Structure 1
Amino acid sequence: MKKNNKQLFVRKILFFILTSSLLVVSFSSRAFAALSDTSTTNFELLKNDNGLELEASNVVFDQKAIEKMPANGATLAKTKMSVPIELKINDFSGKGTGWNLSVKLDKLLEGQKELKGAKIIIPATTATPVSSFEASIIASIKPDVSAINLIAGTTGMTTLAKADVGKGYGEWKINYNNSDATAWQLEYLYGNLADNYTANLTYQLKDGPTL
């Protein structure tokens, strides 16, 4: 009888050890389970009501000697700009409303003398970004630059460049080179008096793609 009691006792001990091991394994599995949660972040970028800037360089045309009217009946003489021209537009308003750049030319005068028949011919060109954007973004937001004629003394403004709604944000340059097809030209009538004529070019940059 004593022998059997010892065997039974041993079995109980072994069972306790095995059961404890299972509990440890089960507890360890629950302790290292991954937990997850989510949170939100918020940042508000405010609009800038004074977020449009414009810079325009001076325009200088090549000197030209007076010529007699040609036999072919042409009435207009021509010269072209002598130094590069750069216009810089910066839209940091954050509005996305687009913009319109227009220009007008006053009469070219020296005292009481006026350069008769004066007109500036501006060819089309391409705006290039100063801001660092990916190529795909540049293509989708690039403003348009038009070819225009400015008749001296006209009171109305003529649109030179514009950005539609959702376009034209960031900083852009419009460059004209005196040595290629983007050069501005000045036309005037034969028979004007010799002098050094000057005029104001007035630029206007406004919100929205049209005036």
Structure 2
Amino acid sequence: MKHFDYVILGAGLGGLSAAACLSRQGHRVAVLEQHYLPGGCCHTFTYGDYAFCADVHYIYQCGPGETVDRFLTYIDKSVPFNSLDPNCIDRIITPEADFCIPLGWENLRDRLLSTFPDEAQAINQYCNQIKRLHQEIVALGEDVHWYNSKWSDWLKLPKYWHLFSRRLQTLQDLFGLSPTHREKTRWK
């Protein structure tokens, strides 16, 4: 019978990442998965006549020295990444607008402001808040080295608890409805 230091339940990205880190640190690790494929939600599945691509669509922080690159370097792996079109990393089509989301905070802000000029105040609040949260999450990743943590790293977490304070709120809760939607939902 084999003996393991750790047993990881689930071969999704989190389970596989944890197993890779523990293995890198010299531990014997077993990964158990109930599905016939590893990867969790990161593979295609069928339901009746339909196929669903549930793969990861975007990964950021993959550049040299960034979070994903540091993790892959730590586990001694090299993965090539393709960059998305910086002018349109995603596209949203609604009856009111056909909107391409550009890469970069200020590019996004500029495009939102030019597309929805009547909503400048909410757009600026939103962009400022998201940019601030992103900077703090990056700082958290630099402060606490998840993949090779020490107890002293975990003691740094309380200063980041505020990042989770709004996790159950919607954008409407935080910034209100747009003027267009306020008009549509007004009681008649």
Q: TM-score range by the shorter chain?
A: under 0.3
Q: TM-score, normalised by structure 1?
A: 0.19
- Higher RCO structure, 1 or 2 (CA under 8 Å, sep 6+): 1
Higher strand proportion? 1
Q: TM-score, normalised by structure 2?
A: 0.21
Higher helix proportion? 2
